[in-house]
Amino acid sequence: MYPLKVEIEDELDELVELLRDWRSGEELAARFGISRNAVWKKIQRLKEMGFEIEARKGKGYRVKYLPEFSVVSVLQAIKAAKAERIIRRVYYYTETDSTNNRAKNLDAGSLVIAERQLAGKGRLGREWLSEKGGLYFSIVLEPPLPIEDVPKITLAAGVAVADALLNFKARLKWPNDVLIDGKKVCGILSEISGEVERPKVIVGVGINVRNPVPDGAVNLASFGVTMEEVFREVVNSLVTRYVELCNGKWEKIRQRWIELADTIGKRVKVTAAGRTYVGKAIGLDLDGGLLLEVDGGIEKVYSGDCFYMVEGLKL
């Protein structure tokens, strides 16, 4: 399946806006400074993406049916967030293996989104179920940060999504699961590609909106929100936190992580770097590590798996 690739300056969203009324090919060509043939090509691309466009002699073109969520929604969200400098182009798939995989060889500034993933990837080699109705996207970033700061991008992304879903009482479970009522609504998978001196970071975000979810997970169906609304909030929040991080505001993000954390204060079992720690989560250290109180001492972990201990149960 090949994607619809759209550059921000393609103005495809404005074309759709104009096509709410009848527009002649000539008028559109003049408006965008392109040939009538180029207008026709853009219209064909929209049709491929599920837009129904009427064409009538003497009247021109008009949108008859607009999908609830489309590449136009993505472009609008990017523009509403004033994120054009960070996200410069969109690759929209109706179906692909994994947006993180598709993003791996792309330039920084690319956003890959799919309506459905056939091999969605979760953390630690797990599978991420990705049926239609959820949001599955990856952003390719080239952060002006040293490589050891890259994990902070993932923590910042968790904060961003939890803040975007604050109306639904979202909370964070270390390292970066977003929970609602103790159930997972969003997962984030960051991967590094490119060279060590100037690494590219792929931030992959999966949000359960209306898609069927596995046990222990939840979607947003009962809140009556649309994919478009969720995506718009999330993009805005992600870009805001990313810019903060790049501008040296990690401390602000760390404090917000702690405020939103569901994990802190809980007894946990964490497996990290081949070791297992059982203790109480007590904070997020200055460098982004989770602080654990274990047998009277303090341990710090940077990535791994975290389970909540049920009091009275031996794990």
Separation of alpha carbons 121 and 206, rounded Å: 10
Selected binder of ligand BTN within 70, 73, 76, 98 (CB under 6 A):
98
DSSP states along 141-198? E--SS-GGGHHHHHHHHHHHHHHHTGGGTEEEETTTEEEETTEEEEEEEEEEEE-SSS
Count each helix (H run) and each strand (E run) in the chain, helices first: 8, 15
Only segment of 29-37, 49-57, 183-191, 245-253 that touches ligand BTN (CB under 6 A): 183-191
Only segment of 13-21, 30-38, 134-142, 291-299 that touches ligand BTN (CB under 6 A): 134-142
DSSP structural state of residue 129 = -
Closest CB to ligand BTN among residues 18, 96: 96
Closest CB to ligand BTN among residues 15, 281: 281
Closest CB to ligand BTN among residues 143, 187: 187
Within residues 188-207, the interface with ligand BTN by CB under 6 A covers 188-189, 204-206
Residues near ligand BTN (CB under 6 A), total: 20
Question: In the complex, what is the shortest distance from the CB of residue 118 to ligand BTN, in angstroms, rounded to a whole number?
Answer: 10
Selected binder of ligand BTN within 70, 73, 76, 99 (CB under 6 A):
99
Strand segments, DSSP code E, in the chain are 4-7, 52-56, 60-65, 89-93, 110-114, 135-141, 170-173, 177-180, 183-194, 199-207, 267-272, 275-284, 290-294, 297-301, 305-308
Question: In the complex, what is the shortest distance from the CB of residue 112 to ligand BTN, in angstroms, rounded to a whole number?
Answer: 8
| Diameter over CA atoms, the chain | 81
Separation of alpha carbons 193 and 52, rounded Å: 38
Give yes or no for a contact between 185 and 178, defined as CB atoms under 8 angstroms apart.
Answer: yes
Give yes or no for a contact between 184 and 177, defined as CB atoms under 8 angstroms apart.
Answer: yes
Within residues 30-59, the interface with ligand BTN by CB under 6 A covers none
Question: In the complex, what is the shortest distance from the CB of residue 207 to ligand BTN, in angstroms, rounded to a whole number?
Answer: 8
Closest CB to ligand BTN among residues 245, 306: 306
Question: In the complex, what is the shortest distance from the CB of residue 203 to ligand BTN, in angstroms, rounded to a whole number?
Answer: 9
Q: What is the x/- site pattern for ligand BTN, positions 265-304, by CB under 6 A?
A: ----------------------------------------
Query: What residue has token string 């720690």?
Result: 277
Handedness of CA 43, 47, 51, 56 (dihedral sign): positive
Residues 6+ apart with CB under 8 A from 32: 11, 15, 38, 39
Closest CB to ligand BTN among residues 60, 187: 187
Only segment of 28-36, 123-131, 222-230, 271-279 that touches ligand BTN (CB under 6 A): 123-131
Q: Is 211 in the site for ligand BTN (CB under 6 A)?
A: no
Binding site for ligand BTN (CB under 6 A): 98-100, 117, 120-123, 126, 128, 136-138, 177, 187-189, 204-206
